[in-house]
């Protein structure tokens, strides 16, 4: 991970939770929020990964803590929120980034167990986590869901995953309406193909990577810092009048009009 030079300090005094934040997009977001002044609480399924990520963040001078959290466990989600409140006394920002994709191929050929897993982690868990966090948010707080450009066109090879990400677009709209009267904003980011382990199956071959790059207008893969910059913006007062929106960060890949 190459740190990006950040001059902004829009998040000083804020406390942020970032799920699945020990690698890839999640770690990139945690780093950027911390660089802009936020205190950051990270989580992952493995303690060793949490400790390694915390070490990287602290080397950048970021005030942070973290814990093991399997987002499919309600108890783990409660523990994540409790850690945040016990350590920093409040929550201002939630970045729901955790996702799973245990299967590819046609929907009608996808095992029921895989469908259940995708919906549990990608749809149910963000809702449950938001229920736990929302009661502690105040006016000016921000929630950001990480979706996918595939949400707009659930096509092969991962249509079931894409449908779960489509659900986040609807969740964003619905919760923005519910939480708006409290001054809480809810937005979504739809990344394109980002060069991370999660996207390895799409870009593991030179041919696959070239195909993805050519599908963008700027002819390169996304980087974690691209998504992180969008997350920092939506979490900041610079986006104070933006809610219920999905920001596509995909280098111009065709997705919607």
Q: Which two tokens stand for residue 25?
A: 């997009």
pLDDT in tens, 138-192: 999 999 999 999 999 998 889 999 999 999 999 999 999 999 999 999 999 999 9
Q: Residue 215 domain-assigned? A: no
Percent of the chain with pLDDT over 70: 92
Listed in sequence order, the residues at least 6 apart from 156 whose beta carbon sits closer than 8 Å to its beta carbon are 105, 106
Percent of the chain with pLDDT over 90: 82
The predicted model gives 49-61 an average pLDDT of 98
The predicted model gives 77-99 an average pLDDT of 98
Cβ atoms 163, 240 nearer than 8 A: no
88, 161, 217, 241: the active-site residue: 161
Its sign, for the CA torsion 246, 251, 256, 257, is positive
Q: Residue 239 domain-assigned? A: yes
Give me the domain span that covers residue 128.
15-193+223-249
Q: Which CATH number belongs to the domain containing residue 181 in this structure? A: 3.40.50.720
Q: Cα(252)–Cα(197) distance, rounded to whole angstroms?
A: 22
Give pLDDT, residue 7. Answer: 67
24 pLDDT exceeds 80? yes
Domain count, the chain: 1
Q: Residue 30 domain-assigned? A: yes
* Model confidence band, residue 25 (pLDDT cutoffs 50, 70, 90): very high
Q: Residue 198 domain-assigned? A: no
Give pLDDT, residue 200. Answer: 55
pLDDT in tens, 194-224: 876 655 556 566 766 777 777 788 988 889 9
217 is catalytic: no
Q: Residue 10 domain-assigned? A: no
Cβ atoms 143, 168 nearer than 8 A: no
Give the CA distances from residue 88 to residues 13, 37, 41, 84, 239, in Å, rounded to whole numbers and listed in that order.
Answer: 10, 14, 9, 6, 24
Q: Residue 149 domain-assigned? A: yes
Give pLDDT, residue 73. Answer: 96
């Amino acid at each position: 991970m190459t740190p990006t030079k950040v001059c902004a300090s829009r998040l000083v005094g804020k406390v942020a939770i970032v799920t699945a934040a020990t690698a890839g997009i999640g770690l990139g977001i945690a780093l950027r929020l911390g660089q802009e002044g936020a205190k950051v609480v990270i989580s992952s399924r493995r303690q060793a990964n949490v400790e390694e990520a915390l070490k990287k963040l602290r080397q950048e001078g970021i005030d942070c803590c973290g814990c093991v959290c399997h987002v499919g466990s309600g108890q783990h989600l409660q523990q994540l929120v409790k850690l945040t409140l016990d350590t920093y006394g409040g929550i201002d920002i939630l970045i729901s980034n955790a996702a799973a994709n245990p299967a590819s191929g046609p929907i009608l050929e996808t095992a029921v167990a895989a469908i259940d897993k995708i919906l549990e982690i990608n749809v149910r868990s963000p809702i449950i986590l938001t229920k736990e966090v929302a009661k502690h948010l105040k006016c000016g707080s921000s929630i950001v869901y990480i979706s996918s450009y595939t949400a707009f066109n659930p096509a092969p090879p991962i249509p079931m995953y894409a449908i779960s990400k489509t659900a986040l677009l609807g969740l964003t709209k619905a919760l923005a309406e519910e939480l708006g009267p409290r001054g809480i904003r809810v937005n979504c980011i739809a990344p394109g193909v980002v060069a991370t382990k999660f996207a390895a199956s799409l870009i593991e071959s030179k041919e696959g990577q070239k195909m993805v790059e050519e599908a963008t207008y700027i002819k390169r893969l996304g980087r974690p810092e691209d998504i992180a910059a969008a997350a920092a913006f939506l979490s900041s007062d610079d986006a104070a009048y933006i809610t219920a929106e999905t920001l596509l960060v995909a280098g111009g890949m065709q997705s919607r009009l």
